[in-house]
């Protein structure tokens, strides 16, 4: 699978791939990472890629020309590339999106800087637009990386142990039950005794109870969803 990051600041992204699980996947050629700098397409004599907003407003907006040309070039090289824009003004990115996008061959992320991107670029080129949460980052690079990471780990072979993908939070509306590692007691704190007794059916029901408790505390709206799904399955 290929990811192309359309960004003015590829060095913000490159570092992540030098030291993560994804590094191994890149070495095995399961993932390929490309960068495309819109500045290289600017027709401005100073290679400017931003301008003041038409109609006023604070801050600079990434202009249409350099992004139009960069994205035309990208599409010329691969007409099937799936182009994603990241911005706070979008639908939230969720686990189902990560799983769906992991089936694509080539995904490109367009990261905005400054006050955003000329809307005409999004209108013309976006296959999808995502926000990673209700807060404003200084640029889209982190958001692009977050999505790339979440998509990559759903790609066959990227995680060494594919089992760890199976029963994760967000695969169901419930949050995951807590995990513990050895030793069984540390500084007087023990893991729940049921975890130690080896009765797997009892461990499963304890984990379910703990999952429900965590979900009720942290994400009550998810618990409602969980009970609705359960009720629908019964009917």
Does the footprint of ligand ADE cover residue 86 (CB under 6 A)? yes
Does the footprint of ligand ADE cover residue 137 (CB under 6 A)? yes
Closest distance between ligand ADE and the C-beta of residue 55, in Å?
21
Sole window of 27-35, 128-136, 182-190, 215-223 interacting with ligand ADE (rule: CB under 6 A) = 128-136
Does the footprint of ligand ADE cover residue 88 (CB under 6 A)? yes
CB nearer to ligand ADE: pick between 113 and 207: 113
* Identified binder of ligand ADE from the candidate list 67, 81, 143, 158, rule CB under 6 A: 143
Does the footprint of ligand ADE cover residue 140 (CB under 6 A)? yes
167 is in an annotated binding site: no
CB nearer to ligand ADE: pick between 88 and 192: 88
* Identified binder of ligand ADE from the candidate list 110, 132, 150, 174, rule CB under 6 A: 132
Measured distance CA(133)–CA(20) in Å, rounded:
23
CB nearer to ligand ADE: pick between 117 and 175: 117
Closest distance between ligand ADE and the C-beta of residue 136, in Å?
5
135 is in an annotated binding site: yes
Task: Measure the CA angle with vertex 41, ends 59 and 54; round to 5°.
Answer: 30
Measured distance CA(57)–CA(11) in Å, rounded:
29
Sole window of 11-19, 133-141, 192-200, 217-225 interacting with ligand ADE (rule: CB under 6 A) = 133-141
- Please provide the DSSP assignment of the chain as one string: -EEEEE-S-HHHHHHHHHSSHHHHHHHTTS-EEEEE-GGGG--STT---EEEPTT--SSEEE-HHHHHHHHHHHHHH-TT-EEEEEEEEEEEP-HHHHHHHTT-SEEEEEE--TT-B-HHHHHHH-SEEEESSSS--SSSHHHHHHHHHHHHTTSTTTSS-GGGGTT-BTTBSSPPPP---S-SEETTEEPPHHHHS--HHHHHHHHHHHHHHHHHHH-HHHHHHHHHHHHHHH-
Closest distance between ligand ADE and the C-beta of residue 88, in Å?
4
67 is in an annotated binding site: no
57 is in an annotated binding site: no
* Identified binder of ligand ADE from the candidate list 87, 152, 211, 215, rule CB under 6 A: 87
Residue 48: C-alpha distances to residues 6, 38, 114 (Å)? 16, 10, 13
By CB under 6 A, name the binding residues for ligand ADE.
86-88, 131-133, 135-137, 140, 143
Binding residues for S-adenosyl-L-methionine, by number, are 112, 132-137
């Amino acid at each position: 699978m290929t990811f192309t990051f359309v960004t003015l600041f590829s060095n913000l992204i490159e570092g992540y791939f030098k030291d993560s699980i994804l590094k191994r996947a890149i070495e095995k050629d399961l993932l390929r990472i490309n960068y495309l700098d819109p500045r290289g397409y600017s027709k401005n004599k100073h290679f400017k890629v931003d301008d003041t907003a038409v109609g006023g407003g604070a801050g600079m907006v990434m202009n249409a020309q350099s992004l139009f040309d960069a994205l035309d070039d990208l599409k010329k090289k691969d007409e099937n590339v799936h182009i994603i824009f990241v911005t706070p003004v979008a639908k939230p990115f969720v686990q189902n999106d990560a799983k769906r996008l992991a089936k694509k061959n080539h995904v490109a992320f367009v990261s905005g800087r400054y006050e955003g991107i000329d809307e005409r670029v999004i209108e013309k080129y976006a296959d999808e637009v995502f926000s990673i949460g209700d807060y404003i980052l200084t640029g889209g690079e982190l958001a692009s990386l977050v999505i790339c990471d979440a998509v990559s780990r759903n790609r066959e072979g990227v995680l060494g142990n594919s089992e760890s993908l199976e029963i994760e939070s967000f695969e169901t509306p419930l949050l995951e039950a807590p995990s513990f590692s050895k030793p069984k007691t540390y500084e007087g704190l023990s893991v729940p005794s049921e975890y130690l007794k080896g009765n797997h059916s009892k461990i499963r029901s304890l984990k379910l109870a703990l999952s429900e408790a965590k979900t009720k505390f942290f994400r009550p709206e998810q618990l409602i969803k969980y009970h609705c799904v359960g009720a629908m399955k019964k009917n």
